[in-house]
Amino acid sequence: MSMASTNKSDSLIAHIFYVLRGNPITALAFILLASFITCALFGPLIVPYDPLASNTSNALMPPSVDHWFGTDNLGRDVFSRVIVATRLDLLISVSAVALSFVIGSILGSVAGYWGGWLDAILNRLLDTIMAFPLFVLAMGIVAALGNTIENIVYATALINIPFYARLVRAEVNIRRDAGFALAAKLSGNSDLRVLAVHIFPNALPPMMVQISLNLGWAILNAAGLSFIGLGVRPPTPEWGIMVAEGANFVISGEWWLALFPGLWLMLAVFTFNLLGDGLRDIVDPRKRT
């Protein structure tokens, strides 16, 4: 690390570059992430066709120069639909993960800091959630609450809360009686302030890894739910639904209907998974393998 300087932020950037150079796959993941974010932000503006406009005279056309990913059974452009769907799928997973991050952090901090019966009750609650196969629980919740996008978000958030709560609880618990925490307390900070300002930030680096991995799971989960007909409804462009609709045409040889949305979905999840691995290398050099 010849670039290392005494300036703290400089050395952080240098460290990131150092890790990226040693791990080109992580660099690739960052590039992919940037392109997905671009699609989500500007998708509807850059696609060549209206994702909802049907044109039955042009139905089930294989990929061509005009329609890169072909057209579906109603003559809609698959490429436009795949790109436009990025925003919805990312929105669902980001809001679900944000929700479980916030709730999990609060529950985990409280249980880790004060311990006692609060901790015991929380642990049993989390055990109960974890006792269900998570996709099955999400399925049940969406079915019970009703078939809307918000409910997909709530269900996905709920099944991910235990991961955050457990992680924060462990990180807070080991620092509860650390020297710096006691010192902060002695100098007159309230418990809440010590917890929020001095202890909790230490849990953030491992949380970053968890968030990245979870974003991938959340997308898979949302797409899986809409695949079995829960949540997002047609004709809204969404990857899971598009694969489900395309599946009916695969047997008769129209492979492009299901292949492209499926590949896009896989690429998105792949990006977040690689990113999670890469972030682990950046934030926690000890765990580097």
Partner 1 sequence: MSGRFKTISLRIAQAIPVLFGVVVVSFILTRALPGDPAVYFAGASATEESIAQVREVLGLDKSLPQQFIIYVGDLLRGDLGQSISTGQAVTDDLARRLPASLELTLMALFISCSIAVPLGVMAATKPGSLRDHMCRVIVTAGVSLPTFFTGILLIYVFYYLLGIAPSPLGRLDFIYIEPDTITGFYLIDAAITGDWETWFGALKQLVLPATTLALFTMAPIARMTRAAMLSALSSDFVRTARAAGLSSSKILYGYALHNAMLPVITTLGMVFSFTLGANVLVEKVFAWPGIGSYAIEALVASDYAAVQGFVLAMAILFVLLNLCIDIAYSLIDPRIGFEER
**42 phi, psi to nearest 5 deg:** -110, 5
Residue 39 is a binding residue for partner 1 (CB under 8 A) = no
Residue closer to partner 1, measured from CB, 144 or 186: 144
**Which residue matches tokens 């958030």?**
157
CB of 3 to partner 1, least distance (A): 22
Q: How far apart are CA 62 and CA 198, in angstroms?
A: 58
Residue 91 is a binding residue for partner 1 (CB under 8 A) = no
CB of 217 to partner 1, least distance (A): 9
Residue 50 is a binding residue for partner 1 (CB under 8 A) = no
Residue 186 is a binding residue for partner 1 (CB under 8 A) = no
Residue closer to partner 1, measured from CB, 184 or 237: 237
Beta-ladder partners of 77: 71
Closest CA to 206 of 283, 148, 100: 283
Identify residues 191-250 at the interface with partner 1 (CB under 8 A): 216, 220, 223-224, 227-230, 240, 243-244, 246-247, 250
CB of 11 to partner 1, least distance (A): 23
Helix axes 134-145, 149-175, angle to 10 degrees: 130
Q: Which stretch binds partner 1 (CB under 8 A): 100-108, 178-186, 192-200, 261-269?
A: 261-269
Residue 278 is a binding residue for partner 1 (CB under 8 A) = no
Q: Which stretch binds partner 1 (CB under 8 A): 81-89, 122-130, 182-190, 204-212?
A: 122-130
Residue 177 is a binding residue for partner 1 (CB under 8 A) = no
CB of 37 to partner 1, least distance (A): 18
Beta-ladder partners of 71: 77
Identify residues 123-142 at the interface with partner 1 (CB under 8 A): 123-125, 127-128, 131-137, 139-141
Q: How far apart are CA 235 and CA 244, in angstroms?
A: 12
| 158 touches 197 (CB < 8 A) | no
Residue closer to partner 1, measured from CB, 129 or 196: 129
Residues of the shown chain interacting with partner 1 in the complex, contacts defined by CB under 8 A: 25, 120, 123-125, 127-128, 131-137, 139-141, 143-146, 216, 220, 223-224, 227-230, 240, 243-244, 246-247, 250-251, 253, 255, 258-259, 262, 265-267, 269-270, 273-274, 277, 289
